[in-house]
């Protein structure tokens, strides 16, 4: 439990002068000790002091400071007396602060190399009216979706997909890839004659990695099908009774959206699932499908489709079109593309890759060898402001709390927090909901130590805010072990909210379009670069601005160098700045010294400690998470 309940906030490490005096050596020793609290001290609050730096001197040789030697001007007696008084003051402060926690500070600063970040143009000048699609589709897009111009990936992909070509589409997150394949798919189906009916079976299959993305894709397809009501879409995602899903398949579907595991289950066990009439296969978020271990399932689905189609006579009208879409072009994605795509078109929105692959500029089909030689490449929207915090795990809970309060007090914000495991999600959701939205600061029931804070009696304890920090703010959690009903409910409520915090695993990292997310926090570093790209991609979608912060352990600093080598622009943000800003917001407009501001961080820390000590279930949850 030390990782959560120990000393979260520490003050700046002092620079104590070296003396041959024994008492001064003891002071130095005290100043370098960082005490960790495994439980809350009874009856007294821990108080942080801001300690000034002490200049280094050599008392044995009575050396003067360099600046004085350079000018050859000896200091005046008055100045020496003043300096002596200051030294005494510093010693007293050092003695006081000897047992206080200190803000951990890194000695090494990573300066990002001066690299120009890769940028992609999001919107094109082409309008939907210029596309060769049905007039009803044009009017429906303008009225229902209120889109006027295509994004770059849509303007490049839709014409090729309307021709029936296989395609590999790579574009940054939030660039409109779903519409880029869904619109050509629907155009191909509604022109079929005789007019298709739901009893004709499945004509198109869309494979996605998560249930939330499946529901979101289904909703978009429903909107696009408004003029063509005879085409029936449906989805299979698990979390529902197989009996219900089998009944849906027996009734008939023309467009099937599914997650790989559930679809494979029905391939093995549902006789009414037939792939003989499939003319279009889409693998959306292909990189995520492979990272989640669905490679075997995807190959099983593709083989089942080919086996079903081999029993029928092939002709040009029923030729199956395959489309792969991804925000990152990894080696596994390129390998899958080489196995599944036939004479594909490579749609790439990056000008850098376009210059390196001439066939992309001319929109020509590319062979497998060319595809496999394309360099790994990632792109993040230029409208994302990326920062990192170098912070040990034991300080993260308070830092995250302060960051959330700071953002919400500035303006109502929608915040997305990614964590490594479902146990961590459960613990942080329960603890933060209680401390940040239910408990009142400054109340006698929670603040047991208020009577012993002599050093804050003048202007600190009297000015403590007696209100809840974030009253009315909704916290949500989302992970793979929740039921389908719970996940769908959370997903829909969070999408509609204007100010909320969603704590989740990577189940929410891929493809999900959540409107107007203001801040993405990566509480734990991702395992691979693609995860970083997709987490950050939940903000600044469709041209909007956003912020992204990642918490890194000091041992993980090399990850920043790795990001900058990939032309990702990211800068450091200081932890103490977040804590002090939090203190300012809690204390309103009243003036407070630096130590008083940091005191609020201790108040939050102690509240978490008291809460976990009191709630056995929460303590067990913390143990599982750690």
Residue 313: per-residue pLDDT: 58
Indicate the pLDDT class of residue 241, thresholds 50, 70 and 90. confident
Residue among 538, 515, 528, 328 at smallest CA distance from 418: 538
More confident residue, 544 or 496: 496
Helix 22-31 / helix 77-97 crossing angle, nearest 10 deg: 50
More confident residue, 452 or 263: 263
Residue 330: per-residue pLDDT: 80
Indicate the pLDDT class of residue 354, thresholds 50, 70 and 90. low
Kindly report whether the global pTM for this prediction surpasses the value 0.75. Answer: no
Could you tell me which residues come within 8 angstroms of residue 518 by beta carbon, excluding any fewer than 6 positions away?
Answer: 407, 413, 414, 415, 539, 546, 547
Average pLDDT of the segment spanning 584-608: 65
Highest mean pLDDT among 1-5, 94-98, 331-335, 555-559: 555-559
Average pLDDT, the chain: 75
Indicate the pLDDT class of residue 595, thresholds 50, 70 and 90. low
Average pLDDT of the segment spanning 590-601: 58
Place of tokens 């660039």: 175
More confident residue, 6 or 528: 528
pLDDT score of 550 more than 70? yes
pLDDT score of 453 more than 50? no
Cα–Cα distance for residue pair 395/102, rounded to 1 Å: 11
Task: Name the residue ranges covered by the structural domains of the chain.
Answer: 123-352+369-373, 384-440+467-625
| Secondary structure (3-state) at 229 | coil
Encode 257-289: b = buried (16+ Cβ within 10 Å), e = exposed: bbbbebbbbbbeebeebebebbbbbbbbbbbbb
Q: Is 384-440+467-625 the same fold as 123-352+369-373?
A: yes
Residue 246: per-residue pLDDT: 92
Indicate the pLDDT class of residue 379, thresholds 50, 70 and 90. confident
Residue 439: per-residue pLDDT: 66
pLDDT score of 385 more than 90? yes
CATH 3.40.50.1970 is right for the domain spanning 384-440+467-625: no
CATH 3.40.50.300 is right for the domain spanning 123-352+369-373: yes
More confident residue, 206 or 22: 206
Q: Which two tokens stand for residue 247?
A: 């009944």
| Secondary structure (3-state) at 129 | helix
| Secondary structure (3-state) at 564 | helix
Task: Render pLDDT for 41-61 as a digit per residue (tens, 0 to 9).
Answer: 443 433 333 334 444 444 444
How close are the terminal C-alpha atoms of the chain, in Å? 7
Q: Which two tokens stand for residue 217?
A: 């894709």
Average pLDDT of the segment spanning 468-475: 88
Could you tell me which residues come within 8 angstroms of residue 95 by beta carbon, excluding any fewer than 6 positions away?
Answer: 27, 30
Helix 396-410 / helix 594-614 crossing angle, nearest 10 deg: 120
């Amino acid at each position: 439990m030390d990782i959560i309940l120990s000393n979260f906030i520490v003050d700046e490490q002092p620079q104590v002068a070296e003396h041959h005096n024994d008492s001064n050596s003891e002071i130095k020793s005290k100043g370098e000790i960082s005490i960790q609290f495994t439980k809350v001290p009874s009856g007294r609050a821990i108080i942080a002091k801001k300690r000034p730096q002490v200049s280094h001197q050599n008392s044995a040789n009575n050396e003067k400071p360099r600046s004085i030697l350079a000018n050859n001007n000896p200091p005046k007696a008055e100045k020496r007396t003043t300096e002596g008084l200051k030294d005494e003051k510093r010693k007293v402060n050092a003695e006081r602060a000897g047992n206080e926690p200190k803000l951990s500070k890194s000695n090494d600063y990573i300066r990002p190399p001066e690299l120009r970040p890769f940028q992609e143009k999001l919107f094109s000048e082409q309008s939907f009216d210029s596309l060769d699609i049905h007039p009803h589709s044009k009017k429906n897009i303008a009225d229902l979706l209120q889109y006027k111009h295509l994004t770059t990936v849509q303007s490049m992909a839709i014409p090729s997909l309307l021709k029936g070509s296989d395609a590999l589409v790579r574009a940054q997150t939030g660039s409109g890839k779903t519409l880029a394949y869904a619109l050509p798919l629907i155009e191909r189906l509604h022109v079929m004659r005789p007019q298709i009916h739901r009893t004709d079976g499945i004509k198109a299959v869309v494979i996605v990695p998560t249930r939330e993305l499946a529901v979101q894709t289904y909703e978009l397809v429903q909107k696009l099908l408004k003029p063509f009501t005879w085409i029936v879409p449906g989805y299979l995602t698990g979390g529902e009774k197989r009996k219900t899903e089998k009944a849906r398949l027996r009734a008939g579907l023309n467009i099937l959206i599914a997650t790989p595991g559930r679809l494979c289950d029905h391939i093995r066990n549902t006789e009414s699932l037939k792939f003989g009439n499939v003319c279009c296969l889409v693998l959306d978020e292909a990189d995520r499908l492979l990272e989640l271990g669905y490679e075997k399932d995807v190959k099983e689905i593709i083989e089942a489709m080919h086996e079903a189609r081999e029993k029928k006579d092939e002709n040009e009208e029923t030729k199956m079109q395959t489309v792969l879409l991804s925000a990152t072009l990894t080696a596994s994605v390129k390998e899958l593309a080489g196995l599944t795509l036939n004479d594909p078109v490579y749609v790439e929105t990056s000008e850098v890759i376009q210059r390196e692959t001439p066939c992309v500029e001319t929109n020509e089909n590319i062979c497998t060898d060319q595809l496999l030689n394309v360099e790994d490449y990632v792109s993040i929207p230029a409208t994302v402001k990326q920062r990192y915090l170098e912070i040990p795990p034991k300080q993260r809970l308070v830092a995250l709390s302060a960051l959330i309060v700071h953002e919400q007090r500035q303006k109502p914000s929608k915040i997305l927090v990614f964590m490594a495991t479902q146990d961590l999600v459960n613990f942080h959701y329960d603890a933060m909901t209680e401390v940040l939205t239910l408990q009142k600061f400054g109340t006698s029931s929670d603040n047991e130590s208020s009577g012993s804070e002599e050093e804050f009696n003048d202007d600190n304890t009297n000015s403590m805010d007696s209100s809840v920090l974030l009253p009315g703010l909704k916290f949500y959690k989302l992970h793979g072990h929740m039921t389908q009903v719970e996940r769908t409910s959370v997903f829909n409520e969070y999408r509609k909210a204007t100010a909320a915090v969603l704590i989740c695993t990577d189940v929410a990292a891929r493809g999900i379009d959540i409107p107007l997310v203001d801040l993405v926090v990566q509480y734990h570093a991702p395992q691979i670069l693609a995860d970083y790209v997709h987490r950050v991609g939940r903000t600044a979608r469709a041209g909007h601005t956003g912020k992204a912060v990642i918490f890194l352990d000091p041992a993980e600093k090399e990850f920043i160098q790795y990001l900058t080598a990939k032309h990702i622009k990211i800068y450091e943000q200081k932890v103490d700045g977040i804590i002090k800003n939090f203190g300012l917001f809690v204390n309103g407009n009243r003036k407070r010294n630096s130590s008083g501001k940091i005191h609020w961080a201790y108040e939050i820390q102690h509240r978490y400690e008291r809460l976990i000590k009191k709630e056995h279930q929460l303590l067990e949850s913390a143990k599982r998470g750690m």
